[in-house]
Amino acid sequence: MAEYGYIRISSKDQNPARQFDAMENRGILSRNIYVDRQSGKDFDRPEYQRLLKKLKNEDLLVVKSIDRLGRNYDEILEQWRVITKEKQTNIEILDMPLLNTASEQDGLTGKLIVDLVLQLLAYVAETERDFIRQRQSEGIEAAMARGVMFGRPRLGVTPNFEEAYTAWKNGIINSRKAAEIAGMSHSTFYRRCKEVEM
């Protein structure tokens, strides 16, 4: 049986020292610690994928906290299933011992308790995402009712637009030159021309 540690930090700015210290205190050998420096939005991470290939029956995966594993609870549940059911590997979350699959708790196997707790966490996370989406939607509706405009402000026509448009329309210059004279990007000039011609 081998013991592995997994560390994830969200960006190159963050310092993984706290997680390394926790692994060291837990007795995980430095050669068995895998580190990813990227977002937790999915599990497409090189070191995590390397670690997943290493895990075998009765091995132990140690993570400091559940959010270091990932942010998306649907994907955490799927990875948890792969690790504990397919690979038959145990998981230990240092900050949440209730999620440790290797322990016995009140006569029930840790895996049963863990499955229930993870389902609950996934439900809470999904409910919170729904609340956030609802609050955003309500906030946007309220702002629009007050006349707040979203998106980049629309550029009006420039003082030289009329001259540039006429020269382009008469075939004296091409549209790129006309946009330059009008002081607009080519796509904006073209949009304004379409509006004039409507």
Q: Indicate whether 18 and 93 sit together in one domain.
A: yes
Q: What is the DSSP string of 141-153?
A: HHHHHTT---SSP
CA distance 20 to 35: 10
- Considering only residues 30 and 71, tell me which one the structure prediction assigns the higher pLDDT: 30
Q: Indicate whether 87 and 30 sit together in one domain.
A: yes
CA distance 41 to 31: 26
User: Which tens digit of pLDDT belongs to each residue from 160-177?
Assistant: 888 888 888 888 999 899
Q: Are the C-beta atoms of 175 and 189 separated by less than 8 Å?
A: yes
- Give the structural domain span for 190: 161-197
Q: Indicate whether 89 and 14 sit together in one domain.
A: yes
Select from 124, 148, 172 the last residue of a domain: 124
In the chain, how many domains are there? 2
Residue 50 lies in a domain: yes
Give the pLDDT score at 68.
83
Q: How confident is the model at residue 107 (pLDDT cuts 50, 70, 90)?
A: very low
Q: How confident is the model at residue 59 (pLDDT cuts 50, 70, 90)?
A: very high
Instruction: Work out the average pLDDT over 7-26.
Output: 85
- Considering only residues 107 and 176, tell me which one the structure prediction assigns the higher pLDDT: 176
- Active-site residues, by number, are 10
Residue 167 lies in a domain: yes
Judged by DSSP in three states, 7 sits in strand
Select from 124, 143, 176 the last residue of a domain: 124
Q: Are the C-beta atoms of 175 and 150 separated by less than 8 Å?
A: no
Regarding pTM above 0.95, the answer is no
Q: Are the C-beta atoms of 7 and 64 separated by less than 8 Å?
A: yes
Q: Indicate whether 44 and 104 sit together in one domain.
A: yes
- CATH number (domain holding residue 108): 3.40.50.1390
